[in-house]
Structure 1
Amino acid sequence: MLVLSFTQFSENLNDFLLNSGISQNQISRDLGLSQSQISDWKNGKGVRLSKNAKMVSEYIETYRNSNNKQLPRSLQNTIHNFCRGSKEKYEKLERIIQALNEIT
């Protein structure tokens, strides 16, 4: 992915965090960066793209091209709220997801 400006990078990072299910904390752990640096980028604080920002862009691109994707955080929260500790509900939902995976 070619990042043309810091603004575009920040917008891309925000979109990724919102839709991927990956947290700022996970990115910082995976790449060995400080969470505060990722938070600054997310909030548009910065003026230039460092090698660390380019590393995050590559991380995002690799994730988007992989088959090992997580559910968006909003969907994870919905599932968690639906199940509320019920093993029976979780198992039913798991069967639904498996069936959907088979038809897609």
Structure 2
Amino acid sequence: MEIIWATRGKHWGHKFLLDGGYKDPLPPYLEAFSGFENSRRVFERCNGHLALRFPDPEERHDESGRLIYHDLVISGHAITDARSYDEACSFMWPLIADEYNKLWDAEK
């Protein structure tokens, strides 16, 4: 499974935490979320990938008070077989939660 993961932290702005093996993850990220830039929840298949956006399950906010969202572009059978938004979120969050718990409160 390959994952592009973009999010914000408490003290740092939007950045890629996983690049999915791409030298530059921005183009596939933009393609996957095209048309959903302002959507708060996304579960959309595109070219063999799944674009998934969900609010932080622990309801964390950045220092400006904005709710943090996690944007994922995922490839691989385990996730592309997901049948619903809830199923995909339940599958993915445990895979990235520990890493995010270490990073979200870090300084810029």
Q: Which has the larger radius of gyration?
A: 1
TM-score past 0.5 threshold: no
What TM-score does the superposition give when structure 2 sets the normalisation length? 0.25
Q: Which has the larger share of strand?
A: 2
What TM-score does the superposition give when structure 1 sets the normalisation length? 0.26
Q: Which has the larger share of helix?
A: 1
